[in-house]
Structure 1
Amino acid sequence: MVGVAFAGGAGVSALAQQAAAPAAANLFQEQAGKLGARKCASLYAALGQGMTQGAAYTLKTETSKEAPDAHIVQGMVGMAYNLPDLKGPAGGILLATPMPQGCEGYMVRVAPFQKTCAEVLRLLPAGSVEEQRLSGVPQYRLGGNQGQALVIPSGSTCVVVTLTGMAQRQ
């Protein structure tokens, strides 16, 4: 059995409105807590805040109903960016799982840019380097220990898939 918390859509709840506000309460931590997944709520929140920085978003969080602190907490996020270099929709997935000594988690963000990949590469954090090609798709190690990215050409635009992992020790 899976527990679900949802916030989003036009007028669905006050939580959705908070998510779009600049100084929003931490919706990620709030939803994990409501489902009883308190052990990994802080890590889940840190990953979620990093993923959604600069975006209005809607979040759906799920975990086990029977033992939420013993199972993975997962979130699906729909985002709307209105930044100088990124405008439009994006999506992401958050995962945080309890471990014997704390929690580990990952976030995956898929962001389509209305720019060529050559232009997008200039937006990567300083110190980013291409590590390899995976079936022709460039994989970058992002500068500042910010994770990894796949930079995928799509016609005259570019899709960036970002992967970031974190751990929380208790």
Structure 2
Amino acid sequence: MARVAVAIAVVIALAAGVWWLWPDAGAGPTTTLPVAASTTTEPPTTTTTAPPTTTTTDHLVDTVEEAEEVLRDLWFRWFLGVYEQDVETIRGVVFLESQLEEAQQSFERAEYLRRPDPSDISFSDTEILLSSPSCLAVWSTLHLTGFREGSSQAVHIVRWADDHWVMHTLWRYRNDLWLNDCN
């Protein structure tokens, strides 16, 4: 019974509060102005200028064709450097000083039938084992024709240094410890 009495008291208090706060009917006349509807709309004008972006992964190799092109370029410049006995050409394609010394030692021993051409270098059974911004590992068979005959199968490790790919190491076996060369 007490609950009913409290509920009735709350309802009466709310009604009195609404009545007391309600605007007075004798407050005077009000004016209503018609609002014209706009029939034209204009999209907001915004100008967006994309911030300049600098990507450091433009050189990432994604396809076998790209990997073969990287290898073809490096091997061509290596063989051309040996053929012409040009230390600077070889310096541009090697990662280690010992590779430069190895090339210089082969200057007198190298037997080429003619000047190398990029078309003399091809690849088969190519597979990208690892492609990162700093290292590329490619399992492939290198074929040489024209200037020198031969082929060899290896994991070619190339590194990104000074904004271009350079030869790092060759691993004869696919499951060798080549991954350490990419760390």
TM-score (norm 1): 0.25
TM-score (norm 2): 0.24
Structure showing greater Rg: 2
Larger strand percent? 1
